[in-house]
Amino acid sequence: MKALFHVNEPDRWPRVLLNINNFLRDVGSGNASIEVVANGAGVLAYSQGKQDLIKQMEKLHGQGVVFAACRNALNMHNISEENLPFFVTVVPAGITEIVQKQAAGYAYIKP
Amino acid sequence: MKALFHVNEPDRWPRVLLNINNFLRDVGSGNASIEVVANGAGVLAYSQGKQDLIKQMEKLHGQGVVFAACRNALNMHNISEENLPFFVTVVPAGITEIVQKQAAGYAYIKP
Amino acid sequence: MKALFHVNEPDRWPRVLLNINNFLRDVGSGNASIEVVANGAGVLAYSQGKQDLIKQMEKLHGQGVVFAACRNALNMHNISEENLPFFVTVVPAGITEIVQKQAAGYAYIKP
């Protein structure tokens, strides 16, 4: 099962991470390919996020979840790529990533 | 035509039901497979929802619309499954249901 | 690449247009089919929108982006079709349009 989560508002992150945890517990981490694409203000959680959110992301990353950040959004919010957590993947444009993943069979979810 | 509506905020329900009514009037109820998946706080409408919303749901259920509730969300909000309206189907995890339906060709809509 | 943007809240328009501009800059306008479907209060921007938004839409229309409005939503908000900007396409029901585009391979994006 393939799932893409789209986050463009900072306050949605707790919900997103809860959804992913429930999903993984339901299907097993070996049975799911999961990517989170943050664009707009969604990228703020990567640099200014509460530590418990970052820890949850890091743990999910260890279970194979991909955390992507839109470069346009990083630039717009003056976030330096070097200051991102190690587990964040930067993509040139969040929307392109979302379109390509759906074309590759990922379900789209906007929590 | 197959459509899945995702509801995770209680105040979106009037909009969701209006969308479904307009959709059914446009294409005819015999030509559409429709499922609503409520997770997060979206499940509150099933137990604490206004009676006119519940009546609209019941009427749509009579036209074949499936109303699903995420069990994780029910537990989190202390909603007993026995107290749900008869037309609600409980699914183990809302996100799994959303992923599976999209894989089965359902369009995703987040009103 | 095919992308459908769904707008049902007026305040999301600046974000939608920014997303589309970034997307087009990333992939090139010749490589993307883009449609924006506005329903609910999303249609208000077509008739009461700020002029800079309308100008951005018109420019994107010139690059091939389709701007659709749900007729049900226009009627609900007493917006006359004759008063819409020339580049807006009216569709009988926004949800039907969204379902059909996804069935035709368009990725769904809700900014």
Q: What is the CATH number of the domain that holds A48?
A: 3.40.1260.10
Q: Give the list of residues 6+ apart from residue B59 with CB closer than 8 angstroms, or none.
A: none
Q: pLDDT tens-digit profile of C4-20?
A: 999 999 999 999 999 99
> pLDDT at position B38, please?
98
Query: Under an 8 A CB cutoff, do B107 and C92 touch?
Result: no
Q: Please tell me which chains touch A, using 3 or more CB pairs under 8 Å as the contact test.
A: B, C
Q: State the smallest CA–CA distance between residue A96 and chain C in angstroms.
A: 6
CA pair distance A100, C105, nearest whole angstrom: 11
Number of domains present in the structure of chain A: 1
Q: Please tell me which chains touch C, using 3 or more CB pairs under 8 Å as the contact test.
A: A, B
CA pair distance C101, C82, nearest whole angstrom: 25
Q: Which two tokens stand for residue A87?
A: 């587990």
Sheet containing C2-7: order of strands? C88-91, C66-70, C33-38, C2-7, C107-109
Q: pLDDT tens-digit profile of A6-62?
A: 999 999 999 999 999 999 999 998 999 999 999 999 999 999 878 999 999 999 999
Give the structural domain span for B59: 2-109
Which chain B residue's Cα is nearest to A1? B99
ipTM: 0.96
> pLDDT at position C49, please?
75
Q: State the smallest CA–CA distance between residue C47 and chain A in angstroms.
A: 26
> pLDDT at position A84, please?
97
From the list B1, B26, B110, the residue facing C92 with the nearest CB is: B26
Contact residues, chain B, for C9 at CB < 8 Å: none
**Overall average pLDDT of the B79-88 stretch:** 96
Q: State the smallest CA–CA distance between residue A48 and chain B in angstroms.
A: 25
Query: Under an 8 A CB cutoff, do C108 and B105 touch?
Result: no
